[in-house]
Amino acid sequence: MLNFQKLHPNFVAEVSPVELRQLHDRETLDEIRDGMDQYAVLVFRDQPFTDPEQLDFARRLDGQLHSRTGAAAIGRSRLGDEALTDISNIDETGGVLAPGDRRRMYSLGNRLWHTDASFVDPPGRYSMLSARVIPSVPVDTEFADMRAAYDALPLEMKAHLEHLLAHHSIAYSRQTLGFEFSEDEKEQLRGAVHPLVRRIPRSGRSALYLASHASRIIDWPVPEGRLLLRDLMEHATQPQFVYRHRWCVRDFVIWDNRATMHRARPFDDAKHRRELRRVTTLDIAQLA
Ligand SMILES: [Fe+2]
CA of 7 to the centre of ligand 1 (A): 20
CA of 3 to the centre of ligand 1 (A): 27
CA of 116 to the centre of ligand 1 (A): 5
CA of 219 to the centre of ligand 1 (A): 28
Is pLDDT of 125 > 80? yes
Contact 251, 208 (CB under 8 A): no
Is pLDDT of 200 > 90? yes
CA of 104 to the centre of ligand 1 (A): 14
Residue 225's contacts (CB-CB under 8 Å, 6 or more residues apart) are: 166, 216, 217
Is pLDDT of 92 > 80? yes
Tens-digit pLDDT profile for residues 172-190 = 999 999 988 888 888 888 9
CA of 115 to the centre of ligand 1 (A): 6
Confidence of residue 59 (pLDDT cuts 50, 70, 90): very high
Q: Per the confidence metrics, is the pTM higher than 0.75? A: yes
Contact 23, 242 (CB under 8 A): no
Tens-digit pLDDT profile for residues 239-260 = 999 999 999 999 999 999 999 9
pLDDT for residue 184: 87
C-alpha–C-alpha distance, residues 23 and 62, integer Å:
13
Q: Is 36 exposed, middle or buried (0-12, 13-18, 19+ CB in 10 A)?
A: buried
